[in-house]
Amino acid sequence: MNDIFIYSVKSSLVLTMLYLPYMLMLRKESFFRMNRIILLSILFFSLILPVCNFSALAIVNEPVAEATKQVYVQFDTVKVVSNSSAQTASQSQLEFFDWSMLLHGILILGMVIMALVRLLQMTRMHTMMRLGCLWSKTEEGCTIYCHAGDISPFSWMKSIVINENDYHENGHQIILHEKGHILCHHSFDILLLTLVQTLLWWNPLVYIFGNSLRDVHEYEADNYVLTAGVNTQEYQILLIRKALGTRTYAFANNFKHSLVKNRITMMMKKNTNKWAYGKTLYLILLVALALCAFASPKTEVNNAPQNVKVKQVKKTTIETVEIIPQIKGDKLYTDAEFQAMMNKQYAECKKHFGSNSLSNKMILVDKSGKYSTTYEKKNDWWVKVSKEPFSSTSYSTHYKKVNGKLVEASQKAVTPQLIKK
């Protein structure tokens, strides 16, 4: 989906870069066929250039990366411990929300809506051609539909729609104008324009571009009428009178389209000097510049294995629970309490262990010699973990101090009378 967004942005940049010079240099020139070719080329290049990538034209020739077939990755995991039990809800939502997905969704939704609107307009136009038609006839490969209502003349593909009054009063000039649209295949230009407007619906410049293309269509059709021998003044008067006509259709080539003043100005304008054609060369230069801008440097592939050391930080959130001891009997003891308990209940322990000589596990035998009780030190607390019947098979471990630490020295069987309560 990210590719669609990037393509749309690149296409818009190409359209803007190629169209603005046309507006500054060519739109007032009278070589209508050349202007139409330039505008269609701009549409074509705006669709094609974003997907072209010629590495030989890249501005930077150095490789941007090295690709390897085999990569051995060594991970160093760093554990970060957080004392907080949970992150705040707002921070989690911000980290989870993907703004790029929202932009892509809006872009695609706009494309779908634009396509549906254009499809609806085309369907309505085709339905209208035959709906309410008084008669139709075929003339020089074109089908003429005559309507009784007050509808502005237009053409689409090889069909011409005209109302009955216009047909009887100015039918010859109007039909010649619409035939000019048909012979020049202007309907296909509109389809290409519609495709670009659907992809770049968010760019306002694409709609201004559409007006320029339709203006050139009208200039070509007007030139076709005058070339056929129609009087220029009479035709200009007809344009002024029809400029106040009724509704038109967005997809069609309408007779009254464009500003009448511009159309009349183009009719009266002399042919453009041949040297003015040199200004069209700007398109070649800018297309080459766009190819260089969109080209990516060629990546050199290195097949030798590489050892890549990657430091991966693994964040783990641990809930810390404050332990509130509840001493019941002799289940939980601090070091001092445990030593005092041994001194009181196990007399022999005082002889063998000092206050700083406690290990993490102690096995004590009561004075009756029937049970041995095991204590373990966990989280700085002594806890009774088991109490089992004592037998002669039990063992007593003797420790000695080495460098200030208790080390197991020997182990022997313990008789019930060894450590008494």
Mean pLDDT of 281-291: 93
Mean pLDDT of 102-107: 90
Name which residue leads in pLDDT, 171 or 318.
171
Mean pLDDT of 200-224: 95
Q: Which residues of 282-307 are buried (b: 16+ CB within 10 A; e: fewer)?
A: bbeebbeebbeebbeeeeeeeeeeee
pLDDT score, position 309: 53
Q: How confident is the model at residue 260 (pLDDT cuts 50, 70, 90)?
A: confident
Q: Which residues of 151-177 are buried (b: 16+ CB within 10 A; e: fewer)?
A: bbbbbbbebbbbbbebbeebbebbbbb
Sheet holding 253-254, edge to edge: 133-139, 142-147, 159-163, 154-156, 253-254
Contact (CB, 8 A) for 306 and 71: yes
Contact (CB, 8 A) for 76 and 311: yes
Does the pLDDT value for residue 352 go beyond 50? no
Lowest mean pLDDT among 24-38, 247-261, 264-278: 247-261
Ranges of each domain in the chain: 72-269, 332-413
> Count of alpha carbons within 13 Å of 205, Cβ hemisphere only?
16
Mean pLDDT, rounded, of the chain: 77
105-136 pLDDT tens trace: 999 999 999 999 999 999 999 998 888 899 99
Contact (CB, 8 A) for 39 and 209: yes
Angle among Cα 396, 399, 401 to the nearest 5 degrees reads 170
Mean pLDDT of 331-338: 72
User: What are the strands, taking DSSP E only, across 275-404?
Assistant: 300-301, 306-317, 332-333, 361-365, 371-378, 381-389, 395-402
